[in-house]
Amino acid sequence: MRSPFTELADVGAHHYPSLPVRLLLKERFQVTEHLSNSEVPVTVIYCDRDSVVPTELSARVADQAPTLVERVVIRGANHNDEVMFGPPVADAVARLAKAVA
């Protein structure tokens, strides 16, 4: 999972604190809830300067993932920085594939 959030409402509430985001959203995309019921191994990859998905949300996903294989934090990067699509991410995916093979 790359830059995951706990649930979409948490991201919306972060960016629009004065709006009733939780009341307005039809779909919640409750990632941590889905992960809690999953047996699928996951790697969580996120950056520490994310301006789209707050870092603490991605960290909570990793903290709560019962089948976490690896947590990869890319230091100094923002959500759409080139490094977030480069070798550190590809290498983490390869390690996950090797771990579950």
pTM of the model: 0.92
Domain residue ranges in the chain: 8-100
Mean per-residue pLDDT for 71-98? 97
Going by C-alpha positions, the residue among 56, 57, 51 that lies closest to residue 30 is: 57
**Domain covering 8-100: architecture:** 3-Layer(aba) Sandwich (3.40)
How does pLDDT run across 14-73, given as a tens digit for each residue? 999 999 999 999 998 999 999 999 999 999 999 999 999 999 999 999 999 999 999 999
